[in-house]
Copies of this chain bind each other. A is one copy, B any other.
């Protein structure tokens, strides 16, 4: 029932039936039904309600510190000092030096000179000094110059993606190309912005690779439907797929954007989560674009980066940036205006500064920083491989290795009996399978349908972030559950 100004009824305003339908339709599987159930199970265990497991493991989010990854000490030391500048005063410095290394102290002093107080509103585009360091980092990474005027600090990449997509959506018939499978932020944001997703499929059989043919098919189909495609989203390294694009493939993608006059939106938040750096290194789209010469000058690109992932994993802090390349100056002004309304928090920016400018060789904190960073990296490689191995032993399950990012996205071929049982419960087969896994093992993953998948296939996404000592337990739990599940619903026709 809808309320009207002349004949109001008794229904509330708003309810789910007269609220914003674009918001109502938005889905965000990462924190959906499974995650709510996992929270419930956690509190059950605290309250003494027993389940077939002793702990719930949240493999549904890329939340390293939520799974006990230790933060980088140097970064936290600086963050701690800028919170309480009295520690830097002459009368305290002797004591402070017993608790903090000298380079953390000098970095904190230097940052405070530029930032003032971390409790003050920052510059709308982000603290100028920190944007300069970001530009320097990008130039050194890519070998091509970057301009602080084209960099905008954000409350994490999600906020940056929302802000920039919002700019592009002229009317409801604008289309945005997104990969399938994709990180559900994209499809949710497109729903809220009332614009058309134009899906292109990654090829599971080719390590989740991306072909020009598929991009063109996707674009052409949208044209037929009267959709005006304005942007192409790429996630590299991929989420949930873990693929790292080759330079050749990136050139093709840029060529495609150029020919079709679409802006390229490159989600590069996993750029340091790369586990086969020789075979499958990370290349930034900025670098590849710049290497393509003057013919590609002016091609529009927005690249996103974040403090939430990598070896840093400071996602609770909300920090990141995006760099704009080739954008019309009038749009940069508009981005500035919208950034002013929703300013990025300062501690997040401090962490961006540390990410792009960590301790250097010879600095007092370098050895410890390097060791912590490398230990996390090596451990992530090992955990990725271990979980990948486990998934590939499951009956009917195949899983590409993770070249990058923090996830595996195995395909499971489920028996018809399970598909029928899912239907009866009003669930997709993958949701049904994942809920059964959660209830049996306490491991919370995300069903593939939340990311999109080829019709009549079933997948799930799991991070490989849990602490190493839990891994044997997780793997054996999933193996036992899977075998039992398959037996329960066994027949010979599979999805």
A: which residues have CB within 8 A of B?
2-6, 8, 12-21, 23-24, 26, 28, 30-32, 39, 61, 63-66, 71, 73, 76-77, 79-81, 83-84, 86-87, 92, 95-96, 98-99, 116-124, 155, 158-159, 162, 166-170, 185, 188-189, 192, 222-223, 226-231, 260-263, 298, 300, 313-318, 326-328, 330-331, 333-334, 337-338, 340-348
Q: A168 and B14 in contact (CB under 8 A), knowing A84-B80, A316-B345?
A: yes
Contact B315 A20 (CB under 8 A): no
Q: Across the interface, do B120 and A15 meet the contact criterion of CB distance under 8 Å? A: no
Q: Which one of A15, A120, A192, A314 has the greatest number of beta carbons of chain B within 10 Å?
A: A120
Task: Tell me the minimal C-beta distance from A256 to chain B in angstroms.
Answer: 13
> What are 24 pairs between A and B in contact, CB < 8 Å?
A8-B260, A12-B331, A14-B168, A14-B170, A14-B263, A16-B328, A19-B170, A19-B331, A20-B166, A20-B170, A31-B340, A31-B341, A66-B121, A76-B83, A77-B84, A118-B316, A118-B317, A120-B315, A158-B342, A188-B341, A318-B344, A318-B345, A345-B345, A347-B347
A19 touches B76 (CB 8 A): no
- Bound complex: CA of A98 vs CA of B99, how far in Å? 11
5 more A-B contacts (CB under 8 A) besides A96-B99, A99-B99?
Answer: A14-B170, A16-B328, A28-B337, A73-B86, A79-B83
What CA separation (Å) do A73 and B87 show in the bound complex? 11
| B342/A223 in contact, CB under 8 A | no
Given contacts A13-B261, A14-B331, A345-B317, contact A120 B63 (CB under 8 A): yes
Residues of B within 8 A of A227 (CB): 5
* Contact assessment for A334 and B23 in the assembled complex, using a CB-CB cutoff below 8 Å: yes
Given contacts A166-B23, A318-B343, A345-B347, is CB(A16)–CB(B116) below 8 Å? no
Give chain B nearest CB distance to A463 CB in angstroms.
12
Q: Across the interface, do A5 and B229 meet the contact criterion of CB distance under 8 Å?
A: yes
